[in-house]
Amino acid sequence: MRHSELHRSGRIGWLRAAVLGANDGIVSTASLVVGVAAATADRQQILIAGIAGLVAGAFSMAAGEYVSVSSQADTEGADLARERTELAEAPEAEERELTAIYERRGLDAALARTVARQLTLHDALAAHARDELGLVDAFAARPFQAALASASTFAVGAALPIAAIFMASPSSLVAIVAGASLACLAGLGALAARAGGARAWVGAARVTFWGALAMAATAAVGALFGTTVA
């Protein structure tokens, strides 16, 4: 019977993008809504600001993730192309290089040579990509996946504080939006921490702290400039 194990490292690519998107969606949109609400009690203006923040943020996240991860993919591609050329021009030197890597990892010289030879015969480029360059499939750059995950989760996260606008009266809007957003951030942080194998309360605490700080800062700015303009 084949023994299979569940490793969380395979989730890192999409989990990072998804958590970052949802967290930014909640924090940036809630902060924007709170800041505008601190300056004006006009629900329509607050709602327009929130929706504009959702749309702009989702596209910004998608573009940022795509560009960033594409740069990583370009670098990985260039490294693989160089390695492919070196394997074609100097295969013996590349096999010795692989042997040295395995020796540094603890294999004796004879076994290291045997392993290097076997892996070279099986798939030389894959062996060098994994053991020399540190490129593995679980961490491979996937620009479209990262962009889609960030944009969609940003939109979902941003929708939460916008929904809270409809549930609050003008006088309680700041408190309701901030409270609901912080609760969602705590839940998101706990969920992400558990998915990554960490303690839930640690993830909840760190995202809640930074979210509260961001909302407090924008509320102060909104109140200051709202009073100044008025």
Radius of gyration of the chain (CA): 25
Which pLDDT band, with edges at 50, 70 and 90, does 56 fall under?
A: very high
Structure tokens that stand for 93 in this block:
């030197």
pLDDT of residue 162: 93
* Concatenated DSSP letters of 149-188: HHHHHHHHHHHHHHHHHHTS-TTTHHHHHHHHHHHHHHHH
Q: Which residue has the higher pLDDT, 96 or 7?
A: 96
Distance from C-alpha of 21 to C-alpha of 30, rounded to nearest angstrom: 14
Helix (H) / strand (E) containing 90? none
Cβ–Cβ < 8 Å for 214, 31: yes
Q: Please, what is the average pLDDT of the chain?
A: 83
Q: What is the pLDDT of residue 53?
A: 93
Mean predicted confidence (pLDDT) in 203-226:
87
CA distance 48 to 51: 5
Furthest C-alpha separation in the chain: 81
Confidence check: pLDDT of 18 > 60? yes
Q: Which two tokens stand for residue 77?
A: 């591609």
CB of 157 closer than 8 Å to CB of 29: yes
DSSP code at position 138: G
pLDDT at residue 57 in the model? 92
| Range in 12-16, 74-78, 156-160 the model is least confident about | 12-16
Query: What's the pLDDT tens digit per position in 155-197?
Result: 999 999 999 998 888 788 889 999 999 998 898 888 877 776 7
pLDDT reading at 213 higher than 70? yes
- The 10s digit of each residue's pLDDT in 124-164 is 888 888 888 877 665 566 788 878 888 898 999 999 999 99
Separation of alpha carbons 183 and 136, rounded Å:
36
Helix (H, G, I), strand (E, B) or coil at 46: helix
